[in-house]
Amino acid sequence: MSNREEMIAEATDFGLEFKGNISNVALATLLADFKGEPEPEFDLPPSPAAKADPEDEVEDEEEEEVESPVQTRKEARAIAAHAEYSRKRMKIAASKKEAFKTSIVTITSKDNRENEVTTTAFLSVENQHFSIAKSVPLDIPVQLEKCLIENARQCKIPMHKDEIVEGKRTGNKVTVMVNKYVISYSQQPAE
């Protein structure tokens, strides 16, 4: 894999947004900025429009060493805040990647009250960082994201069951919460 493809894959894993025709220099700078690393230096050829300046050649010879300035508290706090932000973004990207992994499943409704008319289940997951919503057909194998499968697994409905006391039915009904959907996993292809 080329260096550009590796940088694109890394930026995608971090959840960074960029245009498809981004230059290698801009992509490397975006990744370095996200990681909190110093910007990479590139030996770019001079612009054809730029004219050679004879004074620059003289200055290069007489270049003086400049002392690096002492970092202020404000700059140190800004750097620490940026590093914390970068760690947070990486954690968000990792959790989003994990939540959006897919599996092939068949979802079946256990709700007898609406089984004759319901053909789909509307599943959605939303938080402050990402969201997804789908109308999923029932009783058909579909490829579905892990977060939506978990959402369907946690969906409960009230059902009325016969009340049994000391092994005998009392004639009363008791409301119990049961899972609304049965989720069956199909054989997954090898990755």
What pLDDT digit, counting tens, does each position of 123-180 carry?
999 988 888 999 999 989 999 999 999 999 999 999 888 898 888 988 899 999 999 9
With H, G, I as helix, E, B as strand and everything else as coil, classify residue 118.
Answer: coil
pTM above 0.75, yes or no: no
Give DSSP secondary structure letters for 131-178: EEEEEEETTS-EEEEHHHHHHHHH-EEEEEEEEEETTEEEEEEEEEEE
Q: From CA 16, how far away is CA 2, in angstroms rounded?
A: 19
Q: Alpha-carbon dihedral of residues 37, 38, 44, 49, nearest 10 degrees? A: 120
